[in-house]
Structure 1
Amino acid sequence: MSPFETPPPALDPVTLAELARRHWGLQGTIHSLISERDQNARLDAPGGRYVLKVSNAGEDAGQIALQAAVLKHLEDQGLAGIPRLVPTLAGEDGAEVETGHGPGSARIVTWVDGPLLSSAPRTLAQLESLGRFMGRLSRAMQGFGHPAAFRDEFLWSLDNAAGIASWASDIDSPDRRALVEALFDRYRRRVAPRLAGLRVSVLHQDANDNNVIVEAANANAVAGLIDFGDMAHGRTINELAITMAYALLDAPDLYAAMRSLISGYVAAFPITEDEAEVLYDLMRMRLVMSVCISSRRAKENANNAYLTISQRPAFALLERLDGIDPEFMVALCRKAAGFDATRGAVSVRDFLAQAGVAPVVSPDPQRAARVALLTDGTHPDMPAFFDRAFDAWFSAQRPAGLPANVAFYGFGPYGENRSVYTASHFADAASPERRTRHTGIDIFAAKGTPVNAPLAGKVTNVTYNADPLDYGHTLILEHETSQGVRFWTLYGHLASTLPTIVQPGQRVEAGQLVGHFGDWHENGGWSPHLHFQVMSDMLAQDQGNFFGVGHDSLWDLWSDICIDPNLILRLAPESFRADPHPPAELLERRAKAIGPSLSISYAEKLKIVRGQGPWLVDHTGRRFLDAVNNITHVGHCHPHVVAAIARQAGILNTNTRYLSELMLDFSERLTAKLPGDLKVAYFVNSGTEANELALRIARTAIGKKSTVVLDWAYHGNSGGMVDVSPYKFKRRGGYPQPDFVEIASFPDPYRGPHKGRSEAAGRAYANDVARCLERVRSKTGSAAAAFIAESISGVGGQVGYPDGYLRAAYEHVRAAGGVCIADEVQCGFGRVGAAFWGFELQGVVPDVVVMGKPIGNGHPLGAVVTTPDLAAKFANGMEYFNSFGGNPVSMAVGMAVLDVIEGEGLQERALETGRYMLDRFHDLAKRWPLIGDVRGWGLFSGVELVRDRQTLEPATDEAGWIVNHIRRQGVLASTDGPFDNVLKFKPPMVFGRAEADILCDALEAAFAGLAAIAPGA
């Protein structure tokens, strides 16, 4: 007979005491303990406390031997908190006794001190401790085996769950019976096929709260485990599943309880990914087995009401769990076990980080004006998104003067904790915590705004979720990574046009229209917007809907399931937060702290916080196309240049009094780019310093300061450079021309006296240089002078000289014994496309070349290269020293910039893109008479605006208006020239056709806008 069919032993205390004395030599007081099948008693002896266990007469001897073997094994493993088997005086594990119902076995084990878990208040710390204890037990049981552990017919073995599926028919309640049958069906489909691949071991199988001991002084700490009577061989993960089934029975927060228990367990005994994925279902099957077994026994023992009463907590938990997405609970088990919540999370993130994507909404939000729509009190006057007053509030946030062709969006952040979610469908059956963390990104704009598929995919759901504050018209697309991992995107709050545009099963391509923003009456009762979301797993949600909000305490889990949609949108982080220090505040501080002579661009000032390639990002996260910043020659924050700075700064940065391979390597590499005998380099910190040094070299060589410059030239901001920069000293706030400076007429082919780019015009302008040299002779007795000129004039209005101008000018200067200096600060390093240096376009070789700005991509670096002869003359006894010019970090930067120019073919790009831009500028000129002249060489170009193409009256105000208009469109440019009427374009060299199109389209819109308010412009 089995122990369930045989009455338990009922020996009196005297008999029990005599057993302990005779077989173990222990004397003490006997106290009866509650037991189901055996008879247990506590023995209080002088040497300690023990438990005397008398087995049921029907108990299999193998099971008694198994228990003894396990206790010995665990003692050998050093696992604390487990009863220790006390041998008899004869050295045996136990003694044969008469139970009153047949022969049985008596054993004594040590007492595990402490109250039962059932008597202690439940806490998360306690559950974590329980998990850790059970994990240590599972770890200790690895490698243990015993023939009696293979109990194939043992009713309570989880491995045998399918064997009692028919017992569900004994459950009286139809609803509960249906629930249990559904769980058996899920078990057959989802769990049973995976069991063969799981680890196995001998299990305790009964860590209920009456078998778990806690510390007397600290109920949060589990001290031990008793009752090894249900042991059996089975899937190792069953141990945790059974423990969890008992632990969750009265847990107020099932999520927190599960996480605590699982995380504690795996800290001591890690589980596999497959085990984590079946854990939740096995836990529920333990509860299912419990209610099925109790229901069957209730049928067999109709007079035992306790059997149905005892199943109530299990049914209550099963019914509570039935209101929760089961795959979410699987994801929770995975996360608690140390895995990503879904198997695809990492693959999807990696794929989206690299994938080419189309804009989700049109126009593209990257360059749109925006406002961060935060519910944290940042906008105290902002109505809720489901308050119709929100529309008016949102419209009022659109910046004044924003052109009509520029989109304006509001962005609601991913992961924002929104207290406004108070409706009942944000409540949760498993936890008192409401779901409040936003799992998507909201994009607010006008109703009817087009929505596009960002990636190719398949339509899985086109649904109308009609409940108030639900999604309304909803679209879900399925996609695949390059490795075949599936993921999904959701588009909520769409218009009723949705079902007329796409249908389930349809393939869509990236950029394809899939819907429009819905209005209040069709989108669930919200202000028009798109809720955009990415799911790495659809969980058990297959009805065209998905959770738009998650639990704050489970955000690490939710963020694996609902991956950050910004991996697709790629909006700057500033798009989702309000800047506490906006431009107006900085302007106020600037007025107090910074000298007013330092200018700042645009009528509406920009606060730029980040740069990348040809783009700058402002404090709102809006991207601006930089079409004017030639300083960042190879692009803003080029990673190769940034890495070179960081790497060398972490090794050495010191002055130039020490020998350095870096300085020599860079010097040799740089001078190899120059023609003729230009082989000696000096390094400084800026273009201004470089021009100062170049003039020092020239003046030392000729023995005087006499200098010839071009009208409207600019060579730097130091006192010495302002002296040779008519652009500075001839304008407001300037001073009389220095007596050692002669100004040659500006060789402007468009506006100057000698029209066109012919060699005749070039020689005519060069003759004015000769006249300057004669004035030098009249003042000093010698015509020798330093002649300094930009190879192409920047501040003069992006002006390239007539053919042969520099050749003829250099001939005059050299014939007089002078020195020719080419200022390449703005136009060097491949910018002109057809040549590496601007002077090469004129077919000349200077005596001195000056470099700045592009040489270090914005890092403070400049250079002067000259001939060995001039270098020798400069070494006249006066030391030249520059503490920081040529420092190791600057040299590393210079090398990195050359790496990028050469490695990325930027000179070739300048040539190609420059030609394309000029073609588009000329096309603009056909339609807009305001454009008087188009000129350019590679990515160094200008568009001169005139009110009359015959009189060439400068359109100065119009040029400023155009620049500010395209700034509002997200494109940055500037004006230059003597009249500030030339639109100048000197973008980073990574500028391509796409960027050129953005620039030219913005110019088109600006000219059209100007014509609308000033007909004839």
Structure 2
Amino acid sequence: MSAFTTPPPDLAPAQMQTLVRRLYGFAGEVSPLISERDQNARIDAGTGTFVLKIANAGEDLDQIALQNAAMSHLGRAGVQGVPQVVPTLAGVDTAEVDVSGAKSIVRLVTWLDGALLSGGPRSLNQLQNLGAFMGRVTRGLQGFGHPAAFRSDFIWSLDHVGNLSSWDSYIAAPARRRMVEGLFARYSDRVAPRLPGLRASVLHQDANDNNVIVDASDPDRIVGLIDFGDMSFGRTINELAITLAYALLDADDLYASMRAIIGGYVSEFPITEDEAEVLFDLMRMRLAASVCISSRRAKEHPDNAYLTISQEPAFRLLERLDTLDPEFMVALCRCAAGFDATRSEQAVRAHLARSEASPMFHPDIARSARFALLTNAPPAGMPDIKDRAWDDWFVAQRPANLPLNVGFYGLGSYGEKRSVYTAAQFADAASEERRTRHLGIDVFASAGTPVHAPFPGRVHTIAYNAEPLDYGHTLIIEHATPEGVPFYTLYGHLGGSLPGLLAEGQEVAAGELIAHFGDWDENGGWAPHLHFQVMTDMLSQKGNFFGVGHDSLWDVWSGICPDPNLILRLAPESFIVDPNPPAKLMDRRSKSIGPSLSISYAEKLKVVRGEGPWLIDHTGRKYLDAVNNITHVGHCHPKVVEAIARQAAVLNTNTRYLNDLMLDFSDRLTAKLPGDLKVAYFVNSGTEANELALRIARTAIGKKSTVVLDWAYHGNSGGMVDISPYKFKRKGGYPQPDFVEIAEFPDPYRGPHKGMSEASGRAYAADVARCLDAVEAKTGSGAAAFIAESISGVGGQVVYPDGYLKAAYDHVRARGGVCIADEVQCGFGRVGSTFWGFELQGVVPDIVVMGKPIGNGHPLGAVVATPELAACFANGMEYFNSFGGNPVSMAVGLAVLDIIDGEGLQAKALETGDYMLARFEEMADRHPLVGDVRGRGLFSGIELVRDRTTREPATEEAGRIVNHIRQQGVLASTDGPLDNVLKFKPPMVFGRAEADILITALEAALAEVGA
């Protein structure tokens, strides 16, 4: 305080000229400068421009030495824009002179050309440059030390600002006094205990706008820093805190200004997490110190009105900051410094990503019908969500044919910018920007809809937030990661049942009923819905939490409140309005795609995504795929995707060049086959594989004669349609080719030989012998190619009677024929108890045909034959396939085998398949429509009949059931000669949980259709 009360030196310009000439040896023009306690003047000389500094007689000489040493150190460290001390003629930094009978210290320092920062408006670019400049100063001062820097009694030191706590009593206004008291209490509780663990260094400590020099022609450019009179040793982060305190005075946008300064600073001098977390509080404490010191001085010097006037900007800033959540400002500082908004963010995100949440809604929202509700781009005719007409409108959106057991929801997205937040609570004093960006996910449904806990936890708070457009009844549950990191879920706009369901502090189990959707008069005045939100930190809130954030601060808000879809796990399409829905695609399809290309279901399905046993439509709804045996190991299996990408990035070419992959896959594949099936050919599809198999067989027997099963289907090429009664005997077909003989379909349920006994099998096989007799009558030889699926797919998932294929193969081989097993649908472990369908019959074919599952949807097929047949086929006519056996396809085939073996999918097919068949048999007891249940593993079917005695086919009912379960989110199809068989051949990752979903859907459909 002595320097403040001692009058400053008062030399005349002529005296200062004389002083400069005597001490420094040159003359210059003197221009006095404003100074509070010293006397300063600009000296314009021929050798340059300088500042003459004549210290107050009460100035501490050691402090002047500190300043000189610091400026010199910064100059040596390469920090531009810092005044440098000019030595006297005697070679020293300072000289002692007599000024009006008192001893004063004289210095000469270099002049920094420019204008004061206080002379113009702020820009964010300027503030960022200011932060960067101060970061360079801080970096330059690292390693600098001086005895005079240790000033434990320095009232402006933020390390010791707690010593000023009693000075808040000098603040005249009670409200302001209480505000500052609260700051000291928070500092004592939250900041002071952390200071010993923070970095420390010598600091400038006074980067106010009268000490910062900018380029006069480009004010955004910081030229330099003057006045090193407040230097002391302290926590390094204090430098940035002080810079912020001065720079934010009367700033229009506190958020943007803070980010600019902090971002610039850390670009030159990174700070630690601990430093980032105390920065906001230290900045406020600089302002608190300022108003406390000025209030005390005003009390001591009541005639100095400037003291109270000058503190007004600091009070205004403190009052603005006091309206903000301090922990949010801490999060902002963390983000600006390059850290996550909260310390727990990554731990919480990781936990949610790996944890399976219990369904919050029943029926499960992931499998329910839904539509995206974009508040700022509503569908035509949608009322405002604050208008009660919404109720009727929402009910009208539910599809008329949607079964009652299927949920229907409207979904409002996380992160959406909305214009509906018009209440005062969505604005704050820090900037003119309103909070408009949604921090939760909205789930719209009728009032009273139950809500269940996704994870175990403890009730944090139950509150009724009654402000208009607030949450109304609100529940917050605290959870924890396995490592003990807390996080929170919020449920807003709830019904009045909440207080009776739970109590604060109560433990909640995953899946437990916790609330119901509220109605208009209890949920804040909104359409009935749930606002669901996740918080990694509660900040300073209790009983409520921000549901909307600033768009410009989205990185901060999204770190505090990550996307709740980490829990709900709804497909992204759930929150998007598809501009090309099914009806529009059907119109386009009718004009550009051949009409003979069929499409499933009465209500067409646009599929945009696949995952495991699930397909996802354009609305984000998940459908359980119970029929797609092509994606054998699951839709988009990551190992298959990786294999395609990896190999496609290296090489993809034809088989005229040697490549390890084709040989590796051939060895792996043939090792799965019995007997002498050792020679492989690779093609692009099951159709092409069957074409090649017949070529091999016909070359071996010397003719085209072919025996097929009635209702067989082997592909869609011309040659395959020729041997597929399923095609040529139906609408649009043509007469049976003369080289094709059709054997009786060995159907144990509907054919003439009932049951699965070996006697039935031999009886059906006798008709194969009849066909061979017919071949002999036409050609003089009974030799023929006999091709049959190991289990009939299009025939209605029919498993042949025991011994059928063995007896049939015996007849064929006895006539010199070749036996071909079509495993395109049922191979690769699908039947469960064996890897190949033909093994169920105890036979070994001469040729095996593979397709569909071999590539998991990638175009790949294979033919495996014996060496003898391969030698016969090599008759001089080259066999070549442009794409068959290419390296990418081979990599995919290997990946599929790895997955089948590595994930135990064959055993899973057996377990799940047995479970499904047993449940189907139970359904038969309750539903007369079920005539027959059949299949092996994950290749099964249910034949529907209107009368079990007459076995009249329930064809129309089968179609209705397939469409009914499609509406329930389960995909299946019909097949069989009478199109009355429900067929199930799902991806092999289909387990008991998925089987239960299928069975539940079937039960509902059978109950309705069969009623």
Find the aligned partners of 1:847 and 1:968 in 2 and give their Cα distance: 44
Find the aligned partners of 1:100 and 1:231 in 2 and give their Cα distance: 28
Letter in 2 for 1:1010: V
Letter in 1 for 2:597: L
Secondary structure at 1:521 match in 2: coil
Letter in 2 for 1:519: D
Letter in 2 for 1:889: V
Asked if structure 2 preserves the Cα contact closer than 8 Å seen for 1:763 and 1:805, the reply is yes
Letter in 2 for 1:349: R
After superposition, where does 1:683-722 map in structure 2 within 5 Å? Answer: 683-722=682-721
Deviates more, 1:86-95 or 1:339-348: 86-95
Asked if structure 2 preserves the Cα contact closer than 8 Å seen for 1:54 and 1:99, the reply is no
1:779 alignment partner in structure 2:
778
1:7 alignment partner in structure 2:
7
Find the aligned partners of 1:389 and 1:343 in 2 and give their Cα distance: 44
After superposition, where does 1:531-546 map in structure 2 within 5 Å? Answer: 531-542=531-542, 544-546=543-545
Asked if structure 2 preserves the Cα contact closer than 8 Å seen for 1:832 and 1:911, the reply is yes
Please say if 1:192 is aligned against 2:192.
yes
Deviates more, 1:998-1007 or 1:216-225: 216-225
Letter in 2 for 1:261: I
Find the aligned partners of 1:448 and 1:71 in 2 and give their Cα distance: 71
Find the aligned partners of 1:221 and 1:917 in 2 and give their Cα distance: 75
Secondary structure at 2:476 match in 1: strand
1:555-599: per-residue Cα shift (whole Å, max 9, x none)?
A: 010000011100000000000110111111111111111111110
Letter in 1 for 2:400: A
Find the aligned partners of 2:392 and 2:373 in 1 and give their Cα distance: 14
Letter in 1 for 2:762: R
Asked if structure 2 preserves the Cα contact closer than 8 Å seen for 1:56 and 1:99, the reply is no
1:742 alignment partner in structure 2:
741
**Displacement of 1:400:** 2.5
1:927-971: per-residue Cα shift (whole Å, max 9, x none)?
A: 111111110100000000111111111111110000000000000
Find the aligned partners of 1:771 and 1:263 in 2 and give their Cα distance: 88
Asked if structure 2 preserves the Cα contact closer than 8 Å seen for 1:909 and 1:992, the reply is yes
2:624 alignment partner in structure 1:
625
Letter in 2 for 1:399: P
Find the aligned partners of 1:319 and 1:441 in 2 and give their Cα distance: 33
Letter in 1 for 2:218: N
Q: How many residues align?
A: 1011
2:116 alignment partner in structure 1:
116
1:475 alignment partner in structure 2:
475
**Displacement of 1:632:** 0.4
Find the aligned partners of 2:36 and 2:772 in 1 and give their Cα distance: 118
1:989 alignment partner in structure 2:
988
Letter in 1 for 2:925: K
Find the aligned partners of 1:231 and 1:353 in 2 and give their Cα distance: 49
Find the aligned partners of 1:328 and 1:26 in 2 and give their Cα distance: 57
**Displacement of 1:217:** 1.8
**Displacement of 1:101:** 5.4
Secondary structure at 1:554 match in 2: helix
1:243 alignment partner in structure 2:
243
Find the aligned partners of 1:545 and 1:26 in 2 and give their Cα distance: 70
1:455 alignment partner in structure 2:
455
Asked if structure 2 preserves the Cα contact closer than 8 Å seen for 1:378 and 1:578, the reply is no
Asked if structure 2 preserves the Cα contact closer than 8 Å seen for 1:57 and 1:101, the reply is no
1:575 alignment partner in structure 2:
574
2:427 alignment partner in structure 1:
427
After superposition, where does 1:487-506 map in structure 2 within 5 Å? Answer: 487-506=487-506
Find the aligned partners of 2:119 and 2:680 in 1 and give their Cα distance: 85
Asked if structure 2 preserves the Cα contact closer than 8 Å seen for 1:6 and 1:101, the reply is no
Letter in 2 for 1:849: V
**Displacement of 1:380:** 4.0
1:309-340: per-residue Cα shift (whole Å, max 9, x none)?
A: 11111111111111000000011000000000
Letter in 2 for 1:456: P
After superposition, where does 1:736-885 map in structure 2 within 5 Å? Answer: 736-885=735-884
Secondary structure at 2:205 match in 1: coil
After superposition, where does 1:266-305 map in structure 2 within 5 Å? Answer: 266-305=266-305
Asked if structure 2 preserves the Cα contact closer than 8 Å seen for 1:7 and 1:101, the reply is no
Secondary structure at 2:881 match in 1: coil
**Displacement of 1:5:** 2.4
**Displacement of 1:95:** 1.6
TM-score (normalizing by structure 1): 0.99
2:24 alignment partner in structure 1:
24
Asked if structure 1 preserves the Cα contact closer than 8 Å seen for 2:398 and 2:408, the reply is yes
Which consecutive residues of structure 1, in runs of 5 or more, have no partner in the other structure?
A: none
TM-score (normalizing by structure 2): 0.99
Letter in 1 for 2:213: I
Asked if structure 2 preserves the Cα contact closer than 8 Å seen for 1:474 and 1:491, the reply is yes
Letter in 1 for 2:608: V
Asked if structure 1 preserves the Cα contact closer than 8 Å seen for 2:363 and 2:405, the reply is no
Asked if structure 2 preserves the Cα contact closer than 8 Å seen for 1:386 and 1:525, the reply is yes
**Displacement of 1:99:** 2.4
Find the aligned partners of 2:26 and 2:330 in 1 and give their Cα distance: 51
Find the aligned partners of 2:840 and 2:817 in 1 and give their Cα distance: 22
Find the aligned partners of 2:733 and 2:481 in 1 and give their Cα distance: 63
Asked if structure 1 preserves the Cα contact closer than 8 Å seen for 2:686 and 2:851, the reply is yes
Find the aligned partners of 1:152 and 1:725 in 2 and give their Cα distance: 98
Letter in 2 for 1:185: A
**Displacement of 1:630:** 0.2
1:280-300: per-residue Cα shift (whole Å, max 9, x none)?
A: 000000000000001111111
Please say if 1:591 is aligned against 2:590.
yes
Letter in 2 for 1:737: Q
1:369 alignment partner in structure 2:
369
Asked if structure 2 preserves the Cα contact closer than 8 Å seen for 1:612 and 1:638, the reply is yes
Find the aligned partners of 1:970 and 1:47 in 2 and give their Cα distance: 87
Find the aligned partners of 1:950 and 1:100 in 2 and give their Cα distance: 129
Letter in 2 for 1:4: F
2:95 alignment partner in structure 1:
95
Secondary structure at 1:41 match in 2: strand
**Displacement of 1:383:** 2.1
Find the aligned partners of 2:414 and 2:164 in 1 and give their Cα distance: 46
**Displacement of 1:991:** 0.5
Secondary structure at 2:952 match in 1: coil
After superposition, where does 1:338-487 map in structure 2 within 5 Å? Answer: 338-487=338-487
**Displacement of 1:745:** 0.8
Asked if structure 1 preserves the Cα contact closer than 8 Å seen for 2:245 and 2:286, the reply is yes
Asked if structure 2 preserves the Cα contact closer than 8 Å seen for 1:9 and 1:101, the reply is no
1:482-508: per-residue Cα shift (whole Å, max 9, x none)?
A: 111111000011111111111011111
Secondary structure at 1:946 match in 2: strand
1:888-939: per-residue Cα shift (whole Å, max 9, x none)?
A: 1111111110111011111101111001101111111111111111101000
1:780-815: per-residue Cα shift (whole Å, max 9, x none)?
A: 111100000000000000001111111111011001
Find the aligned partners of 1:810 and 1:156 in 2 and give their Cα distance: 101
Letter in 1 for 2:944: L
1:744-771: per-residue Cα shift (whole Å, max 9, x none)?
A: 0101000001111111111111111111
1:963 alignment partner in structure 2:
962
Secondary structure at 1:603 match in 2: coil
Find the aligned partners of 1:115 and 1:978 in 2 and give their Cα distance: 93
Secondary structure at 2:4 match in 1: coil
Asked if structure 1 preserves the Cα contact closer than 8 Å seen for 2:710 and 2:725, the reply is yes
Please say if 1:913 is aligned against 2:907.
no
2:947 alignment partner in structure 1:
948
After superposition, where does 1:51-130 map in structure 2 within 5 Å? Answer: 51-100=51-100, 102-130=102-130
Give me the CA root mean square deviation.
0.9
2:661 alignment partner in structure 1:
662
Find the aligned partners of 1:381 and 1:29 in 2 and give their Cα distance: 79
1:605 alignment partner in structure 2:
604
Asked if structure 1 preserves the Cα contact closer than 8 Å seen for 2:423 and 2:468, the reply is no
Deviates more, 1:820-829 or 1:75-84: 75-84
Find the aligned partners of 1:322 and 1:70 in 2 and give their Cα distance: 36
After superposition, where does 1:672-687 map in structure 2 within 5 Å? Answer: 672-687=671-686
**Displacement of 1:516:** 0.7
Asked if structure 1 preserves the Cα contact closer than 8 Å seen for 2:806 and 2:841, the reply is yes
**Displacement of 1:26:** 2.3
Asked if structure 2 preserves the Cα contact closer than 8 Å seen for 1:831 and 1:907, the reply is yes
